[in-house]
Chains A and B, each alone.
Chain A
Amino acid sequence: MKKFKYLKNVVTLQIDQDKCNGCGMCMEVCPQQVFTLAGKTSSITDRDACMECGACARNCPQQAIYVRPGVGCAYAVLMDKLNIKGKCCGDVCGCSLDNIPDH
């Protein structure tokens, strides 16, 4: 299936190759296949596909990955800017993602 791409060069994702031990956990949890194993370490090969969900950083045992996690939902950002609380399902919304079956 064709992969959807959002804006170019905006995401905060970074990897510290010196810390990475190539365990492959980031590749396993990334829903957008942003990483590939290059030699003995993981590297970011499809940066613009990153949706900043934060799964890789949280599951990296070496703490080699940095990303500012968040949900890319304009409505949640708007409510946050207007300082309206509780209108969404929290400070991050994106709860319309019910369409992701399961789990």
Chain B
Amino acid sequence: MSNQLNKLPMIDDNQESTCRPDEQNTASFEDTGSANWITGQLETNAGPVYQVAAVLDRKDLTGSIKARLGLGRMDYIIPPGLYAVGNPEPTSPVLVSANYKLSFDQLRRELAGLNLWILVLDTKGINVWCAAGKGSFSTAELMRMVDATSLGEIVSHRTLILPQLAAPGVSAHAMRKESGFKVVYGPVRAADIPEFLSGNNKAEPEMRHPSFTLPDRLILAPIELVAMLKPALGLIGLFFLLNMAALLADKSPIIFISLLRQSLMDFAPFFAAILIGIVLVPALLPYIPGRALAWKGWVLGVLWVLVYTVLITTSAGWLQTAAYYLAIPAITAFLGMNFTGSTTYTSLSGVVKEMSFALPAIILSASLGLIGLIAGYFI
């Protein structure tokens, strides 16, 4: 299992592409039968269909945790195909999902007690919304899988229930015209599916809007923190070398442990900046004034430098203080800007506009800050 992140991999040069190439899609339907989430087989007009559990077991849960931490995340796939939940009949509804196991697990755990079919498309292990945006959850793929599974022979109706967030990739009217299958967009959240089905396939308005609550905003913090490990170690290394160079310039004795301690102390305000950018900015998102995410990050960064230089450290001179004001908000602004990819509401046009002013400002501020920090060791 490769240790791949699918976001923020710029600091991880040793990795291959973080996108799992298509040819590595080795999961096949044949060895699925032994998977922990398969409970049995169902005979249909078009051959056997695997029945899946509607509860998650320990293996599913550890898999989810690993995926959340970015471990083997792009390999977390299930074979595309038709699956059964319970004992579906030819008249039972058909739900369509992605072959990212995290998406599939979140769907099936909401389906206890129901009898239905799940058609899993080959989205290359990407979740529904992103796959729809990227084009792998598409009308063509939907048509291909309907054909490949002989769905038309297994079910007697012609209705497919798609997650609403698949709509950027699928054209309902084109699907109907070309395959005869009617696409109905279900709720955004899997948890609303039972209510949707019992309510005659009608989604209430609140089922159509992705929530972005505190847990939603923080669920990606672990993966982002893991991704910051290397830049953090790099910064500690830089402080170590600078401290050592400063001692050498002073002709002072070099004691490894005190050098390391000093470097870690120098790193402390930056460590806090990383936590602020990755945890606090998303957590306080609705409460920080302004709309651009880089701006929100910058605001918290400036506040942190204020707190740090006034209340926490007393030894910082004017140069170091100035360097903190330049470097730290640049980091929190960058991390804030980076959070655009994790939100449910930012548009591409908005991000491009935000970056056009934020990115040059961040680069300039960070560069000046770095020069100031380095100079501070020798003045």
Partner of A90, one of B8, B19, B213: B19
Contact with B along A52-79 (1 / 0, CB 8 A): 1111001101000000111111111111
Contact with A along B315-351 (1 / 0, CB 8 A): 0000000000000000000000110111111111111
| A4-B130 contact, Cβ under 8 Å, with A28-B185, A31-B344, A103-B165 | no
Instruction: Check if B134 is an interface residue, CB within 8 A of chain A.
Output: yes
User: Is A100 in contact with B210, judged by CB distance below 8 angstroms?
Assistant: yes
User: Is B345 in contact with A74, judged by CB distance below 8 angstroms?
Assistant: no
- B211 nearest CB across to chain A (Å): 6
| A75-B341 contact, Cβ under 8 Å, with A87-B17, A92-B134 | yes
User: Is B208 in contact with A31, judged by CB distance below 8 angstroms?
Assistant: yes
Note all chain B residues with C-beta closer than 8 A to A73: 340-341, 346, 351
User: Is A102 in contact with B340, judged by CB distance below 8 angstroms?
Assistant: no
Tell me the dominant secondary structure on chain A's binding face.
loop
Note all chain A residues with C-beta closer than 8 A to B337: 74
The total of chain A residues at the interface (CB under 8 A) is 59
Of A2, A69, A91, A99, chain B has the most CB atoms within 10 Å of the CB of A99
Which of chain B's residues 268-287 have a Cβ closer than 8 Å to chain A? 285-286
Q: How far is A75 from B334 in the complex, measured between Cα atoms in Å?
A: 10
User: Is A50 in contact with B164, judged by CB distance below 8 angstroms?
Assistant: no
The total of chain B residues at the interface (CB under 8 A) is 85
| A95-B128 contact, Cβ under 8 Å, with A49-B345, A74-B340 | no
Partner of B106, one of A49, A97, A101: A101
User: Is B208 in contact with A94, judged by CB distance below 8 angstroms?
Assistant: no
Residues in B lying within 8 Å of A, measured CB to CB: 6-10, 17-19, 67-68, 74, 95, 97-98, 100, 102-103, 106-107, 110, 124, 126-130, 132-135, 163-165, 167-173, 185-191, 193, 203, 205, 208-213, 216-217, 219-220, 223, 285-286, 291-293, 337-338, 340-355, 359
13 contacts between A and B (CB under 8 A): A1-B211, A25-B172, A29-B167, A33-B208, A51-B345, A51-B347, A69-B168, A69-B348, A71-B341, A87-B10, A88-B7, A99-B220, A103-B163
Residues in A lying within 8 Å of B, measured CB to CB: 1-8, 10-12, 25, 28-33, 49-55, 58-59, 61, 68-79, 85-103
| Interface contacts beyond A4-B344, A33-B205, A98-B102: sample of 10 additional A-B pairs, CB < 8 Å, sorted by A | A4-B343, A31-B165, A32-B209, A75-B8, A75-B340, A89-B6, A89-B124, A94-B129, A100-B165, A102-B191
